[in-house]
Amino acid sequence: MSEYAVELEGVSKHFGPVVAVDGVSLSIRDGEFFSLLGPSGCGKTTTLRLIAGFELPTAGEVYIGGKPQGETPPYRRPVNTVFQNYALFPHMSVFGNVAFGLEMQKVSKEDIRRRVLESLEMVQLPGMENRKPGQLSGGQQQRVALARALVNRPKVLLLDEPLGALDLKLRKAMQLELKALQHRIGITFIYVTHDQEEALTMSDRIAIMSGGHVLQIGAPGEIYEQPADRFVADFIGETNFLVGRVSEIRAGEATVLVDGTLEVCALATADVVAGQEVTVAVRPEKMTLHAAPPDPLALPGRVEEVIYIGTDTRYLVRLTEQTIVVVREQNLGAATTARFHEGEPVYVSWTSGCDRLLTE
Amino acid sequence: MTRTSRRQTWRILFLISPSLFWLIVFFFLPLILVFAISFGQRGTYGGVKWLLNLGNYARFFDPLYLRIFGRTVYIAGATTLICLLAGYPLAYFIATRPPQWRNVLLLLLMIPFWTNFLVRTYAWILILRDQGLINTLWTGSLHTGLLQLSNLVPLPIWEPLLHATAQPLTLFGTDWAIIIGLVYGWLPEMVLPCYAAIERFDFSLVEAAQDLYANRVKTFLRVILPLTMPGVVAGSVLVFIPSLGAYVTPDLLGGAKSIMIGNVIYSQFMAARDYPFGSAVSFVLMAVMLVGTLIYFRGGTD
């Protein structure tokens, strides 16, 4: 038995001339909550469908529980799916929907009854078994879809944007509930979403996808703090990009000349050389504003705009003719006015190491 | 009733008055007339004698007419079944093509039906009769081919085949000739409602079923068929009802022995001049159609 629940080995999927998934390799551990995150059209849903068997790879191999799947049809794979639109059978009751998979596996009548009621209990829908899907709310339908998949006790549960159709509040509640459920039953979840916050909240690990490729795989913290490239840094959270050329590397610190005038210091990576075109990425919440320069590395600028958003205040600070950065400051005190005002000269600084030098 | 809702009622009555007029004058009144006549008696020289009695309905239960009625139900049933077995897969095929192809395929299905029904039925005579297309091939090319083959490879197995192909097949004038003609005539009536139902069907449910361990057959029987049943029911009614009342097709393609209830009604009105009995048979047929339709629709919605 492999320690991996699902592995993809150089999997590609072409639809005619369109390459939806391009040489993706993934190893998803047993019991892991793994998210595929990316913008629409990045190939995340196709990747999920390749695991489920709804699509067959053009190249590469999908392994489930260590077994190569080849052209195994979906009904012979030990995985179950929660579909984006739930795909509940409208002509069957909730009981009929949840019992369907067990009936197909020829489970005995008594066992079906017991397991269906158990799983409805698990998704907090007891007493609903005689309703038709059309009589349920979106959130309830979502729970039925979940129960219908989980009742089969699959090795892996595949979820294709299952919360996409729910309103914000319900979605937040379901995120926590799903995560708790996964923790309790210990089944591997592979979760497709375009919502970065959702992925960060729920996942053990995340794979960021774009253009059919996997750009980075890592724990939420790694993805957020150490984005592999500009796309990841931009896609996950908010990031300031300072584009320039490396003028000097000394003691692990690279000095980057931005727009020919501004000198920015950043932690050098192993592959960076002097004269190279690079991007320094710094998250807005890592930056601080000062009225006087706290150290010689602080960048001088001028406040362009102040935006108050309750928990934080966002400052747009112009550093050069071409470059504006966003600085996010938590409103810790009780002051009703911002610390700085439009047009004021300020200095921007951040703790060394909070910056990230990207060569792409 | 308030003034506005009363005004609304008048407006609706005004709007439906043309169709209401049409239905009352050309459908409801004649129907009442036929119903009244069915309780009368044939006059000596035709015409209707108003001696009200149930004799015409009693006469329908004569074994002669019951047998014809039984054959009619059998022919209409076989027609419906064949139309369903042929039409549903065709509808499924068309509904699962890319959208730009669907209308083209539906158009191709409809094109033959722009030709007059009578002409198309005559064409089947040319195909089915003893000197027709099928039998020309049967007793001609096939027979001579087998003859040459048996000369080349003399084996006893050719003997019965040669014997069979020496005679033309009896196709024309049988129940099956009528069924072929009716299937050909009513197939689109089956395909179109089935197509409408399958086209509306959400194919993500197929993936859901397959995800839940249902193979293709189970997916079809448990998910696709139940959800497209309204199309099947509508198509079956649309084929079965006119087949039950068919008159032209059995008249042209059927022989003396294979007549349907429609031919009985025709002959009572035209040849026997027995209006009352013809009316009674019409009403029995209508009652059977009505009951059949009700049962079928109720069964379909459960």
Residues contacting residue A66 through CB under 8 Å, at least 6 positions apart? A1, A2, A4, A7
Crossing angle for the helix pair B29-37 and B275-301, to the nearest 10 degrees? 120
Confidence of residue B117 (pLDDT cuts 50, 70, 90): confident
Whether the per-residue pLDDT at B302 is higher than 60: the answer is no
Of residues A341, A63, A354, A120, the one with CA closest to residue A237: A354
Contact B71, B263 (CB under 8 A): no
Instruction: Report how far apart, in Å, the C-alpha atoms of B216 and of each of A52, A233, B204, B206, B211 are.
Output: 16, 45, 14, 9, 11
Ranked by mean pLDDT, which of A295-304, B220-229, B252-261, B268-277 comes out on top?
B220-229
Multiple choice CATH, A4-234, 3.40.50.150, 3.40.50.300, 3.40.47.10, 1.10.10.2520: 3.40.50.300
Whether the per-residue pLDDT at B27 is higher than 60: the answer is yes
CA pair distance A184, A200, nearest whole angstrom = 19
Which residue in A73, A87, A105 is closest to B205 by CB distance?
Answer: A87
Domains plus CATH for chain B?
1-36 (no CATH), 62-129+171-301 (1.10.3720.10)
Instruction: Report how far apart, in Å, the C-alpha atoms of B31 and of each of A149, B23, B34, B240, B272 are.
Output: 58, 10, 5, 22, 21
Q: Does B214 touch chain A (CB under 8 A)?
A: yes
Tokens encoding B211? 């995800």
Q: Are strands A33-37 and A205-210 parallel, antiparallel or unpaired?
A: parallel
What was the ipTM of the complex prediction? 0.82
* B129 secondary structure, DSSP code: S
Contact A28, A189 (CB under 8 A): no
CA pair distance B208, A141, nearest whole angstrom = 14
CA pair distance B152, A124, nearest whole angstrom = 79
Provide the pLDDT for residue A110: 94
Confidence of residue B299 (pLDDT cuts 50, 70, 90): low
Provide the pLDDT for residue B2: 66
Question: How are strands ordered across the β-sheet holding A79-82?
Answer: A79-82, A156-160, A188-193, A33-37, A205-210, A213-218
Residues contacting residue A213 through CB under 8 Å, at least 6 positions apart? A22, A23, A24, A43
Q: pTM, whole model, 2 decimals?
A: 0.81
Whether the per-residue pLDDT at B1 is higher than 60: the answer is no
Average pLDDT of span A159-186: 89
Average pLDDT of span A323-338: 88
Tell the CATH topology of A238-358: OB fold (Dihydrolipoamide Acetyltransferase, E2P) (2.40.50)
Determine what percent of chain B is predicted with pLDDT higher than 90.
Answer: 48
Provide the pLDDT for residue A345: 94
Whether the per-residue pLDDT at A239 is higher than 80: the answer is yes
> Other CB atoms closer than 10 Å to residue B55's CB: what's the count?
15
Domain ranges for chain A, please list them.
Answer: 4-234, 238-358
Instruction: Tell me the nearest-neighbour CA distance from B302 into chain A, angstroms.
Output: 10
Whether the per-residue pLDDT at B163 is higher than 90: the answer is no
Q: What is the phi/psi pair of residue A259, to 5°?
A: 55, 25
CA pair distance B18, B26, nearest whole angstrom = 12
Instruction: Tell me the nearest-neighbour CA distance from A170 into chain B, angstroms.
Output: 24
Mutate to test the interface with B, among A49, A100, A159 (most CBs of B within 10 A): A100
Which residue in A53, A79, A91 is closest to B227 by CB distance?
Answer: A91
Average pLDDT of span A27-56: 94
| Chain A contact set for B209 (CB, 8 A) | 89, 100
Query: Residue-wise over A256-287: b if at least 16 C-beta within 10 A, else e?
Result: bebeeebebbbebeeebeeeeebbbbbbbbbb
Of residues A155, A150, A36, the one with CA closest to residue A82: A150
